[in-house]
Each structure stands twice: as structure tokens, then as C-alpha cells.
Amino acid sequence: MLRKILVDGREMPRRAGLLVILGLWALASVVLLFTTVRPWMPKIGLLAGGADLDVYRDGARHVMEDLPLYTEPVIHGLLYTYTPFSTLMFLPFGLLPGGYDKYLWMAANVALLIAIVVGCWRMLGYRITPYVVSASVLLAASCTFLEPVRTTLFYGQINLVLMALVLWDASRADASRLKGIGVGVAAGIKLTPGYFVLYYLALRKWRAAAVAVATIVATVSISWLVLPNDSKQYWTDTFFESTRIAEDTHPSNQSIRGVIAHLTGKPAPVALWLVLAIGVVAASMWIVVRLHRRGESLLAVTVAGLTAAAVSPFSWSHHWVWFVPLLVYVVHRTLTNRWWWTAAVVVYAAAGAWPYRWEEDNVVVGLFLFPPWWTVADVLMNVYLLVYLAVLVGAAVIAFRGDPDPVAENRTPVREPEAV
């Protein structure tokens, strides 16, 4: 069965030029990653982070020791913002050896990043061969310099885990009984992946949507049984505190609500944000449905993932790890049209982990954090939304008027067991 899943599909054309380009790109990215900011630089160096991993571990410690989870700060004076169910999932982090935990988790995230890229090639219909694995390793290395990925690695975040669960779920055959569980578990840990229930509904994948909802309900029920006090606090109070994460005006809030706040200098009016968000959801889902019908399943789920970050009340920059499958798709398109490399350069330039040194010991990473006295600062502060808008327009062209993807038209469908 495993052999069938690996062998079925269209073989990627073996082009030495592609591996050369990806190899140079990967080398440049790794060099930039470790030289633009000193790895051990306090508060910002790639190997000097792990704050969010500490929060995950401390949240799990709170529930193990019957301490309040939401009414008082956890480690580093931070507030816990994830669901009660998440703490149950984070219990294994307590088994990681102290002092080395963040490096082990970083290595696991890098391995997962490679697996995500491989999974994206599978969604594009390619057979997994040594050539594809080699290309995946190089492309994954290139993606480490994307600011959302770099920040995820730095903080010890779980964004890649959640995206992997969603991509695994979306790639499963419609007949699979497991389809929907990945989305449900991801949404049980963090609310944003719940957006993919709407994705399944828009595609009329009723069973997958039902399984996802049932899984979410199960995560809430389990955590309520195990952690009744924390669950009551979260779902009746903490859940509604939109400013618990940070203020809308924070430059790292790369969402529609953040754009409104950045441009006005004050919290976004809820009514205005809702109108814009609902409009974007409707337009993007229309595009997603058309893409899916054309066989563009990876681009469809990627647009949905980017939209989830865009319409969320607050999206930290590292929530935009969906740039990874976007780059895989763009590289896939370069196999038939070299002009797609232009799109890869634009995404990489806009989402790169470019640093700016405020002072000798104060560095920020990401174009949205560049100094406000720049004439283009207001544009840079909303750079991810600008990229998203461009992606939405490009996806619409592909969905409604673009030439069909040659691989999508000719690929051999990936066969999976119908009742797994």
C-alpha cells in the first residue's frame, strides 16, 4: 500500500538546472539566515529564542500542577492564549531535556518543513523519487529565510505542525474516513485552522466537514472533562478578549484588521473589519472552488490558508507559513514556464527575514518592522497583505481565465485506500 502511494503519480522532469538553481537559492538563504543576525544575539538570534516553546511547556506544567492557566501570566510574564486542549497536546514537551529542548524542537521543525514540501509535491501529482526529495530538501532550506519560517523556528512555534496537519488532511482521498480529523485536531489546538471547515463546506466535502466539526467538539469535550475550570474560563471569558494577544496596531499584526489599525493609528472598528473580512472570504472561496475544479488542489488550499491568516482578528507574521506551499507551487509552475521565477523572487523578497539594526544591540526582522521614517514604511508595514492581494488576483486569473496547469491536466490521480 505504501509503495503504491509513493509510486503512483507523474514523474517530475529531471532537470539539472532546477537543482542548481535550488541549490544556489538554498545556500544563499542559509548564509543569510546565519549572517544577517548573529545566531546567539540576545532576544533575536536564531539560536537564542525558544520563548513560545517555554510557554507551551509552562502551560502544560500549569495544568499538571493544577495552577490557573488564563487568569495569571505563565513563564516570561506572557499570557497563555491557546485552547485548554492544547495543553494536553503539549505535555510531551515536558519530556524534552532542559537546555537542549529548543534545539531539538527546531530540528524537528526543519524535518517537518522538508516533509511539508514533499507533501506539496504529492498534492501536485508528482511521484516521490530521490530527485523530488533532493529538490524538496533544497527548497525547504531556501524557505528557512522566509520571515514566517525563521520566526517560527526562533520562537519554537507550532505553525508548521498545524499547517502540516491541514495539508495532510486536505490531500487525503474524499472517501477516507480520516479526512477532517487533521483539521479538527489543528483547530482544537489553535482556533485559526477551524477556517478549513468552511473550506470543506465550500467544496461540498460534507463528510470531511462533519468529521472536522466532530473532532473539534471532541477536543473541547475532552479538555472540559480533564480541565473543567480552565475550560470554563477560556470559553466563557478569555475567548472573547481580542486584545489579549496584542493591540491591533502592532506592526506584526499582518491581517486585514491590522491594516485598518496601521492606517488609522487606532483599533479597527469591528463592523468595518467584519464587512471587509466577509467580503474577502466570499471572494477567496469562489476562487478556491474554481481552482479545485481545475485540479489545482495545492493552490486552492494555499489560498485558503493565506486567507485564514488575512481575515483572522490578529495574525502574527509567523502565522503566514503558508508562503511555503505557495513557493512550492510557484517552483512547480517554473517547470513549464520560466517566467514564474519572477513570482518566486517577489514572494521571497517580500517575505524574507530581512533585518534592520536600530542600534548595536537592537535588531528587528521583517520588512513590516522597518523604521517608520521611511517614505514607504506604511506600505511595508502591510507587506503580507499586499502579497496576499497579489496572490488572490493571480489565483483568480488561473481559476477563471488562465491556461490549465499542464501537470494538473495530465497527472495520474493519487490513489489511496477508500476506507482508511
> In angstroms, rounded to a whole number, what is the distance separating the alpha carbons of residues 7 and 147?
34
Q: The C-alpha cell of 26 is what?
A: 538554498
Q: What is the pTM for the complete model shown? A: 0.92
Question: Minimal CA–CA distance to 416: which of 17, 14, 166, 122?
Answer: 122
Percent of the chain with pLDDT over 70: 92
Flag whether 241 is in a domain: no
For 220, the domain range is 2-227+249-410
Question: Minimal CA–CA distance to 369: which of 346, 392, 352, 348?
Answer: 352
Flag whether 254 is in a domain: yes
- Residue 32 confidence class, pLDDT cut points 50, 70, 90: very high
Flag whether 239 is in a domain: no
Question: Minimal CA–CA distance to 248: which of 314, 175, 336?
Answer: 314
Q: The C-alpha cell of 280 is what?
A: 474577502
Flag whether 419 is in a domain: no
| Dihedral sign for Cα atoms in the order 367, 51, 188, 220 | negative
Flag whether 232 is in a domain: no
Flag whether 405 is in a domain: yes
CA distances for 50 relative to 47, 83, 158, 389, angstroms:
8, 20, 11, 32
Flag whether 244 is in a domain: no
Number of domains in the chain: 1
Flag whether 233 is in a domain: no
Question: Minimal CA–CA distance to 113: which of 144, 89, 72?
Answer: 144
The mean pLDDT value of the chain amounts to 90
pLDDT per residue over 316-374, tens digit each?
999 999 999 999 999 999 998 999 999 999 999 999 999 998 777 789 999 999 887 66
pLDDT per residue over 169-218, tens digit each?
999 999 999 999 999 999 999 999 999 999 999 999 999 999 999 999 99
Total Cβ atoms within 10 A of residue 246: 15
- Return the CA Rg of the chain: 21
